[in-house]
Amino acid sequence: MLSALSEELRKVGLELNASKSKSLSTHPPPELRHFSSVTCIDGKYIHILSSSQSHMYLGRQLIFSKHRADFAIKGRISAGWAQFRKRRSILMNEHVPAKLRIKLFCATIIPCLMFGLSTVTAIQKHLKSLDAVRMKMLRNMAGWRRLDGDTWRDTMCRMTGRVNALLTQGTIPFFSQTLLLNKWRWAGKTLAGNPSVDSWPSRAYASLAPMKRNRGRPLIEWQDDVLLFLSRSGVSNIPAAANNKSKWSQLEALFVSSITARAALQVPVPT
């Protein structure tokens, strides 16, 4: 796998940086279990991380913990709030047209918050937490108002009206919907399995070695909900469906609606 990665880098004029490359392995080869590095191609050495170690890569913490999805979601939420606070002088400025503020939000906050979440095993609580963050950000953009003598219910009803008025000037998609759309589109690239298209995502996905799972209920993987939906939809030839762009796009809306309905979320189905 490392050789294939190095070949892909050479095609675009790049080289593998051994000092910044890490290898995570729960079961390293017996001859390397007492060493801190493994020889890579071209005589380079790659540092091996044990199952108890972690590494921050491109804004995401790589870790073998069972709760790595929680770490990933919380990390991206923190990054999203950091971007929001960085641009709060514009996003919360009522003198700036709401249409422009919404465009800035969609161009900066959403990509930052969604970065790297396409392959996260997000469950219902993660989807709900993402949409809760979206609503909190929208309340800040709409302008928080708490009047004397108001009950909490009255305040929230008034803020809901202000948020709805803000959204009449533009569309801010639900974060859970955006995550599911990104996952579906990434799954289309990795599950295509077209031998005529030697894409890097397909090669990386196919190179995953089979692992012996522990006793008990197996851990869910990021693509399990996609495969379950395809099975229930009667799609037997998954690579053929993934290579059919028009059919894959038609199934996209059904996939999002099935997941959000199961999570009891009021998320509109994309058209």
Nearest to 118 by CA among 68, 55, 185: 185
Q: What is the pLDDT of residue 207?
A: 60
Encoded amino acid at 236, one letter:
S
Q: Please answer whether residues 179 and 121 qualify as being in contact, where contact means their C-beta atoms are separated by less than 8 angstroms.
A: no
Specify whether the backbone of 58 is left (phi greater than 0), alpha (psi in -120 to 50) or beta.
left
Strands (DSSP E) found in the chain: 22-24, 37-39, 45-49, 54-57, 60-63
Encoded amino acid at 23, one letter:
S
What are the backbone dihedrals phi and psi of residue 54, each rounded to the nearest 5 degrees, phi first?
A: -140, 165
Q: What is the pLDDT of residue 91?
A: 95
Q: Please answer whether residues 48 and 25 qualify as being in contact, where contact means their C-beta atoms are separated by less than 8 angstroms.
A: yes
| Domain spans of the chain, in order of start | 2-52, 67-172, 178-207+221-262
Q: What is the pLDDT of residue 51?
A: 63
Q: What is the pLDDT of residue 265?
A: 42
Interatomic CA distance for residues 110 and 50, integer angstroms: 33
Q: What is the pLDDT of residue 4?
A: 74
Name the packing angle between helices 175-190 and 98-114 (round to 10°): 50
Terminal-residue alpha carbon distance, the chain: 39
DSSP state of 270: P
Encoded amino acid at 73, one letter:
I
Q: How confident is the model over 190-234, as pLDDT tens digits?
A: 877 654 455 666 666 666 555 565 666 667 777 888 888 888 888
Q: What is the pLDDT of residue 90?
A: 95
Helix/strand/coil for 192? coil
Q: What is the pLDDT of residue 267?
A: 43
pTM for this predicted structure = 0.74
Average pLDDT score over the chain: 79
Q: Please answer whether residues 167 and 139 qualify as being in contact, where contact means their C-beta atoms are separated by less than 8 angstroms.
A: no
Q: What is the pLDDT of residue 264?
A: 47
Query: Rg of the chain's alpha carbons, rounded to an integer?
Result: 22
Encoded amino acid at 253, one letter:
A
Q: Please list the ranges in the chain whose pLDDT falls under 70.
A: 1-2, 25-44, 50-52, 59, 64-65, 193-218, 261-271
Q: What is the pLDDT of residue 20?
A: 73
Q: What is the pLDDT of residue 268?
A: 43
Q: How confident is the model over 229-258, as pLDDT tens digits?
A: 888 888 888 888 888 888 888 888 888 888
Strands 45-49 and 22-24 turn out to be parallel
